[in-house]
Amino acid sequence: MVVSKLLPQTRTERVLAVATLADSIGTGLYTTAGMLFFTHVVGLSAVEVGLGMALAGIAGFLAPIPLGHLADRLGARDVAMALAGVQAILMAGFALVQSFSGFLVVVALFCAAERGTWTARSAMVAGLLPGSSRVRAQAYMRSVFNAGVSVGALLTGAALVSDSAGLYVALMLGNAASFALYAVIVGLLPRVPPIPRVGSATARTLPVLRDLPYLSVGLLNGILSIHHSVLLIGLPLWLSEHTEVPRVVLSWLFLLNTAMAVLFQVRASRGSDTVRGAARALGTSAIATGGACLLFAPAAHVSALLAACLLAAGTVALTLGELLQSAGCWGLSFGLTKGGAHGSYQGGFSLGDALRDTLGPILVVSLAISHGVVGWLILGGMFVVAGALVAPAARWAQAHHQPDAVASADDRVLATAHAG
Q: Residue 57's CB: how many other CB atoms inside 10 A? A: 18
Q: Which of 136, 170, 195 is where one domain is finished?
A: 195
DSSP assignment of 51-106 equals HHHHHHHHHHHHSHHHHHHHHHHH-HHHHHHHHHHHHHHHHHHGGG--SHHHHHHH
pLDDT band with cut points at 50, 70 and 90 for residue 336: very high
| Whether the Cβ atoms of residue 71 and residue 206 lie closer than 8 Å to each other | no
- Count the helices and strands in the chain (H runs, E runs): 20, 0
Q: Are residues 184 and 248 in the same domain?
A: no
pLDDT value at residue 167: 86
pLDDT value at residue 153: 84
Q: Which of 168, 195, 222 is where one domain is finished?
A: 195
End-to-end CA separation in angstroms for the chain = 28
| pLDDT tens readout for residues 66-116 | 999 999 999 999 999 999 999 999 999 998 998 999 999 999 999 999 989
Give me the phi and psi of 46, to 5 degrees please.
-60, -35
- Look at residue 322 and tell me if it is in a domain: yes
| pLDDT tens readout for residues 118-176 | 999 999 999 999 887 899 899 999 999 999 988 888 888 766 777 788 888 999 999 99
- Look at residue 420 and tell me if it is in a domain: no
pLDDT value at residue 402: 56
CATH of the domain at 48: 1.20.1250.20
The C-alpha atoms of residue 223 and residue 385 are separated, in whole angstroms, by 10
| Whether the Cβ atoms of residue 326 and residue 139 lie closer than 8 Å to each other | yes
The C-alpha atoms of residue 65 and residue 116 are separated, in whole angstroms, by 8
Q: Are residues 322 and 384 in the same domain?
A: yes
Q: Are residues 311 and 279 in the same domain?
A: yes
What are the C-alpha distances in Å from 161 to residues 45, 106, 154?
21, 27, 12
Q: Which of 147, 172, 195 is where one domain is finished?
A: 195
pLDDT of 364 above 70: yes
Q: What count of Cα atoms within 13 Å lies in the side-chain half-sphere of residue 346?
A: 28
- Look at residue 339 and tell me if it is in a domain: yes
Q: Are residues 191 and 261 in the same domain?
A: no
- Look at residue 416 and tell me if it is in a domain: no
Contacts for 359 with CB less than 8 Å, ≥ 6 apart: 226
pLDDT value at residue 159: 67
The C-alpha atoms of residue 407 and residue 345 are separated, in whole angstroms, by 13
Q: Are residues 185 and 229 in the same domain?
A: no
Q: Are residues 182 and 248 in the same domain?
A: no
pLDDT band with cut points at 50, 70 and 90 for residue 408: very low
- Look at residue 202 and tell me if it is in a domain: no
What are the C-alpha distances in Å from 152 to residues 25, 171, 312?
4, 9, 25
Give me the phi and psi of 63, to 5 degrees please.
-80, -40
Q: Are residues 248 and 389 in the same domain?
A: yes
- Look at residue 200 and tell me if it is in a domain: no
pLDDT of 1 above 60: no
Q: Are residues 241 and 373 in the same domain?
A: yes
- The total domain count for the chain is 2
- Look at residue 380 and tell me if it is in a domain: yes
pLDDT of 386 above 90: yes
Q: Are residues 105 and 233 in the same domain?
A: no
Q: Are residues 261 and 160 in the same domain?
A: no
Q: Are residues 181 and 277 in the same domain?
A: no
pLDDT value at residue 25: 94
Q: Residue 304's CB: how many other CB atoms inside 10 A? A: 13
- Look at residue 419 and tell me if it is in a domain: no
The C-alpha atoms of residue 297 and residue 306 are separated, in whole angstroms, by 12
| pLDDT tens readout for residues 9-67 | 688 989 999 999 999 999 988 887 888 888 888 888 888 888 888 888 888 888 888 99
Q: Are residues 24 and 96 in the same domain?
A: yes
Domain that holds residue 304: 207-411
pLDDT value at residue 158: 66
pLDDT of 405 above 70: no
